[in-house]
Amino acid sequence: MTTREEQEKIQEKFKERMDEDELLNCMRCGFCLPTCPTYIESGYKESHSPRGRIALMKAVVDGLIEPDEDFERSLDLCLGCRACEPVCPSGVNYGHLLEEARAIVSVNKRYSLPAKVVRNMVFKGLFPHQNRLRNLTGLIGFYQRSGLQTAARGIGIMKLLPDSLSSMEKVLPSVPSMKEMRNRPEHLAPLSKKVHKVGFFSGCLMDTMFLETNNATTKLLQLAGCEIVIPKNQACCGALHGHSGEKEGAKDLAKRNIRAFEDSDVDFIITNAGGCGAFLTDYAHLLKDEPEWNTRAIAFHEKIIDISEILVILGFHEKVKLKLPAQIVTYQDSCHLRNVMKTASAPRALLQAIEGIEYREMKEADRCCGSAGIYNITETEMSMQILDYKMEQAKGTYAKTIVTANPGCLLQMKLGIERAGLSGSMRGVHIADLLLEAVGERAEK
Partner 1 sequence: MSASNEAAVLAAEVKGKMINIVGEGNFDDSKTGRLVYSYDATPNFQSLPAAVVSPRNTREAAEIVRICNEHKVPIVPRGSGTNLCAGTCPTEGGIVLLFRHMNKIIDIDEENLTATVQPGVITLDLINAVEAKGLFYPPDPSSMKISTIGGNLNENSGGLRGLKYGVTRDYVMGLEAVLANGDIIRTGGKLAKDVAGYDFTRLFVGSEGTLAIITEATLKLIPIPETKKTMLALYQDIESAAKSVSKIIANKIIPATLEFLDQPTLEVVEAHAKIGLPTDVQAVLLIEQDGTPEMVNRDIERMSAICKEENAVSVQIAESDAQAEALSSARRTALSALARLKPTTILEDATVPRSEIANMVRAINNIATKYHVKICTFGHAGDGNLHPTCPTDSRDKEEMERVEKAFEEIFVKAVELGGTITGEHGVGVMKAPYLELKLGKEGIAAMKAVKTALDPNNIMNPGKIFAKDSRKRVVITR
How far from the centroid of its chain's Cα atoms is residue 440's Cα? 28
* 72: nearest Cα among 48, 92, 96, 94: 48
The footprint of partner 1 on residues 203-262 (CB under 8 A) is none
What's the min distance (Å) between Cβ of 314 and partner 1? 24
Task: Tell me if 52 contacts partner 1 by CB under 8 A.
Answer: yes
Is 45 exposed, middle or buried, given 0-12, 13-18 or 19+ CB atoms closer than 10 A? Answer: middle
| Chosen residue from 15, 17, 30, 423 binding partner 1 by CB under 8 A | 30
Determine the Cα–Cα distance for residues 159 and 161; give it in Å rounded to an integer: 5
* Beta pairing class for 226-229 and 187-188: antiparallel
Q: Which stretch binds partner 1 (CB under 8 A): 30-38, 164-172, 367-375, 431-439?
A: 30-38
Residue closer to partner 1 by CB (options 59, 172) is: 59
Of 2, 37, 41, 56, the one binding partner 1 by CB under 8 A: 56
- 44 binding partner 1? (CB under 8 A): yes
Binding partner 1 by CB under 8 A: which of 28, 110, 194, 288?
28
62 binds partner 1 (CB under 8 A): yes
Minimum CB–partner distance for residue 83 and partner 1 (Å) = 13
Report the residue from 1, 64, 148, 151 that binds partner 1 according to the rule CB under 8 A: 64
Neighbour-count burial of 86, counting CB atoms closer than 10 A to its CB (0-12 exposed, 13-18 middle, 19+ buried): middle
Q: Smallest gap, in angstroms, from Cβ of residue 50 to partner 1? A: 11
CA dist., res. 210 & res. 404, Å (int): 13
Q: Which 138-177 residues touch partner 1, going by CB under 8 A?
A: none
Contact between 47 and partner 1 per CB under 8 A? yes
Question: Cα–chain-centroid distance for residue 322?
Answer: 27
- Is residue 228 helix, strand or coil? strand
**Sole window of 39-47, 154-162, 194-202, 268-276 interacting with partner 1 (rule: CB under 8 A):** 39-47
* Residue among 213, 217, 218, 201 at smallest CA distance from 269: 201
CA distance 343 to 306: 8
65 is a site residue for partner 1 (CB under 8 A): yes
Shortest spacing between CB 388 and partner 1, in angstroms: 20
Q: Binding residue for partner 1 (CB under 8 A) from 79, 88, 105, 240?
A: 88
Pattern 269-308, partner 1, x by CB under 8 A:
----------------------------------------
What single DSSP character describes residue 242? Answer: H
Q: Does the protein bind partner 1 through residue 24 (CB under 8 A)?
A: yes
Span from 21-29, 181-189, 333-341, 383-391 in contact with partner 1 (CB under 8 A): 21-29
Give the residue, chosen from 5, 12, 70, 441, that forms a contact with partner 1 under the rule CB under 8 A: 70
Integer Cα distance of 8 and 276 in angstroms:
34
- Considering only CA atoms, give the Rg of the chain: 22
Residue 348 or 400: which CB sits closer to partner 1?
A: 348
Please calculate the CA angle 242-246-247 and round it to the nearest 5 degrees: 65
Is residue 34 involved in binding partner 1 (CB under 8 A)? yes
Residue with Cβ nearer partner 1 (30 or 147): 30
Query: Could you give the C-alpha distances from 397 to 137, 362, 428, in angstroms and in order?
Result: 34, 6, 14
Judged by CB under 8 A, which of 6, 8, 19, 46 binds partner 1? 46
Which helix (H) or strand (E) segment holds residue 427: the answer is: strand 427-430
Shortest reach from residue 47's CB to partner 1, in Å = 5
416 is an interface residue for partner 1 by CB under 8 A: no
| Shortest distance in whole angstroms from residue 35 CB to partner 1 | 9
Candidate residues 6, 19, 66, 366; the one interacting with partner 1 per rule CB under 8 A: 66
The DSSP output letter for 273 is: -
**Residues 12, 17, 29, 115: which binds partner 1 (CB under 8 A)?**
29
Contacts of 368 (CB under 8 A, 6+ apart): 37, 79, 81, 83, 335, 386
**Angle at which helices 163-171 and 407-419 pack, to 10 degrees?**
110
For the sheet with 401-404, list strands across it. 355-359, 323-331, 401-404, 427-430
End-to-end CA distance of the chain: 47
Site residues, partner 1 (CB under 8 A): 21, 24-31, 33-34, 43-47, 49, 52, 55-56, 59, 62, 64-66, 68, 70-71, 73-74, 88-91
